[in-house]
Structures are given as C-alpha cells and as structure tokens.
Structure 1
Amino acid sequence: MTEPDGRSRYVDRFLTFIDAIVAIAITLLVLPLVDLTTDYKGSAVELVREHAPELLAFALSFFVIFRFWKAQHRILRDVVDLDGPMTQTLTLWAFTVVFLPFPTALASSSPSEQTSTRALYVGTMAVSAGALALLAWLVARNPALRAGAASEPKQAMTTFVIFVVALVLTVAIPRTGYYPLLLLFLTGRVVALWHRHKRNTGT
C-alpha cells in the first residue's frame, strides 16, 4: 500500500502496530498444529487424516484474517489522520483479530454440533466484519481525514451482513455446521448486483 502524502506519524505508527497484531494472531493460529506433531509416531498422511478438523479450522481462520487485513488496508489506503471514533473502531477490530485464535481452537477441538462453539466462532468473525464496516463508513464521511476518495463501504457492509446471516443459519439450523460461511464467496457477486441495481434505478 502506497502511503498518501501528508499522513501523520501517529497514523503510521498506529497502523504498523495493527499490522504486527495481525501477524501475531496468524502465528498463534498455527501453534496448536505444531503441538500435534509432538511425539506423534504415525505418518504425515495419518496425521492429516486424524486432525482434519483442526487443519480446516486453521485454513479458514487464516483466510478470514488475511481477508480482513486486506480490507482494512483498502479502507485506510488514503487516510492521513484518525479521529477518536476511527481509532476506537480500529482498536475493536484488532481485538477481534487477537481473540479469534481462541474460538478457532475451540472449533477444531469441539464437535461441530455444539451451538455455543459455532456461535462464538462465527460471532467473533461477524463482530470483526462489523467493525470494518463501521470503519469504512467513518472514513467515507470524514473527507478532511483523507488524501483522496474513500473506498466504497459497500463491500465491507456486504461482508458484515453475510457473516450475520451465516451466524443466524449456523445457530438456528445446527445441521448446517460451518457451511454457511461459504456464503462469503458470494460477496463479490452481491456487491456487483448492488452496483447494477443502482445503475438501473439511477440512484
């Protein structure tokens, strides 16, 4: 990400700190997988087969955190300063990223039928997506804090809505497990339909 001219040192240091938080959170995700290899006597294929849920939970959480990180960078691409609400919202988002390894560990070690585990896991992601949606809205409504045009908040808001829908489905219909999270792959299509509707209606 190219830094905009005029960005304050405070913003640079704060965003560097956020990047470090994300890097540590992703590292924490893999530590339980490293522990699986301790004193394991079987083959690599057997290890993967026996611990497939843990590996899938790691892959999903890594994908989600990386996607959130990219979205955060896109939202703040042209920001040169942060006000109180933006700083607080970004801090909340960072907290959800740090917390995510905990429900990830629960999701990989608990049966998928446990509603509370699914609610905590998907709910943490939904709160994280909600924080990014709020951040995108705050950036869009504060042109004095930007060096250029704001990133459209539609994508962040769409992602948040999809996470909420996934949370409702995985809790209300237990047999769906974590499959409602696959709805995330529809984010781009939903945003495209939104833009097409606006063009057709002229709004």
Structure 2
Amino acid sequence: MFTGIVQGTAEVVEIEQKADFRSHTLRLPLPLLSGLQPGASVAHNGCCLTVTAIDGDLVRFDLMKETLAVTNLGECTPGSRVNVERAARFGDDIGGHAMSGHVHCTAPLVQRIDSPNNRELWFELPQAYSRFLFAKGYIGIDGASLTIGRVDGCRFNVNLIPETLERTNLGWRQEGDRVNIEIDPQTQAIVETVERILTQRS
C-alpha cells in the first residue's frame, strides 16, 4: 500500500530493453535507501514495482509487458525523472489516501493554467473511467494523491500548490504529456456496487 505522498523524484540512469520486457535502474535519493532490500516495493509514477537489485544508490526494477502497456513508464528514457514512494509501513501517517500502486490507465494533460503560487491542470480520462470522477473526490496522478476540483464529462482538474510542484514531476509536465491514473479504490467499489445493484433490480 502507498499513501500518495510522493517522497521525491528519481532519475532513470539505465534501461535494458528485451522483448515485451525492460529493466529500469534508478538513482534513488539517499533518504529512501535506508533498509531497502531486494523484494521491497517502490512506486514509480504511482506504479508498484519490485526491487530486483541494489548497488549503492542504484536500484533496479523489472517492468513486464502489462506494465509497459498500461502505464507511462515505457516512455521513460535515461535522464527521465519519476515520482517515487516507498511502500507504507505500519504506523506511517496517511497524508493522502490509501493507494494500491495499480495503475488503471493513462490520461493526457490537456490544459495547464498558471497563476501566482498555483497551477491548474486539466486531464482527460478514457470514457470507461469517467464515471469514477467526482468533485472533491480523490485520484492518484503519477503516484500523487490529489483532490479533484471540477469535472466536465471525461475531463477533470486539480490545483497544485508550490510544494507539490517542487516535490513531484508534475512541476514540469506539459500539455500532451501522459500521466498514470489510479482511481480511488473506495470510489470504485461504491460506484461498481451501486451499478451492480441497479442492474439486478432492473
């Protein structure tokens, strides 16, 4: 489980490409290395990946075909920076909302509106996921737990404070960039349960 509070960004320093498979090596920030062992989970842009090898501050992860197809991680190149968060531990503060690290889809950034000390970003979800959008609901964007501001069909916006812009890669996202989306699990469970009950009654 993850909290959606991004702990920083990490540089992709090496990529090994194979058929429908690749390995990423990240240079993790030193505070995130303490106690890290092979087999541990670290979220990359909100996608839960498993540590396969550690060499100093260089940490390796494997990405299978499904991960490359569903997320934006297949677009990474050496020098790219991804949002990172280590798995939550018992007793950690849940400053965002509970996230699984399972990305549902990607969404393009369709509009970026800058104003003093604020940035408004509009994204467009695939039609199948728009029913999970609610104003003031939670959503995971590249691993960051954010509150939805407004909803307009398949489009929704979030408003980012300077701290979020500084801590995450959302600070340099441009229109047309694709971000990973994780639907809030509780919202998904409620919507799908209500849909199922209404279908049974009809």
Common fold by TM > 0.5: no
TM-score (normalised: structure 1): 0.28
Select the structure that is richer in helix: 1
Q: Which protein has the bigger strand share?
A: 2
**Larger radius of gyration, structure 1 or 2?**
1
TM-score normalised by the chain length of structure 2: 0.28
